[in-house]
Amino acid sequence: MYSKMLSLRFPKKIVGEPIAVNLVKKFDLSFNILKATIYPRKEGLMVLELSGHRKNFQRGVRYLKSIGIKVESIGQDIKRNEKKCFQCGACTAVCPTGALYIQRPDMEVVFDKELCSACEWCVSACPARAMEVKFDRSLLD
């Protein structure tokens, strides 16, 4: 199984098309939408994690590009600055994937980078500004 986080920019002429359905039906891919801003007759943006067999993934990305969608790979370097963090747990309340959680009985805030989806909600929630998220976007081959 191959999986990658992607940013998709839709031209306004195709925002009403069933693109996600086509990825599932035509290419046997699954997806998890992390962020989406799509309005009728305006350019749209979607950040998603796309998964499937590598060959199907590549065919799906070619399909997206062929209909005019700008596809970018999103690599993230997400870290918690241990010196800044004072273990308040505010980040755990907003983390949608459970990557940030409180370990009991020590009441220590744990960051499991493998579960992180780079949604950036922890960055906004952290009063100490200990969560640092840096996106490195590069075009797919």
Number of folded domains that form the chain:
2
Q: Report the pLDDT value the prediction gives residue 141, as an integer from 0 to 100.
A: 38
| Confidence (pTM) | 0.56
Domain that holds residue 88: 77-133
Question: Looking at the structure, do residues 49 and 8 belong to the same domain, yes or no?
Answer: yes
In this structure, the answer to whether residues 95 and 123 fall within a common structural domain is yes
Dihedral angle computed from the Cα positions of residues 125, 130, 131 and 137, in that order, rounded to the nearest 10 degrees: 130
**Which of 21, 42, 68 is the C-terminal boundary of a domain?**
68
Which pLDDT does position 60 carry in this prediction? 96
Least confident of 40-49, 74-83, 88-97: 74-83
Alpha-carbon span 28 to 47, nearest angstrom: 19
3-state secondary structure of 63: helix
Q: Which of 78, 138, 81 is nearest to 114 (CA)?
A: 78
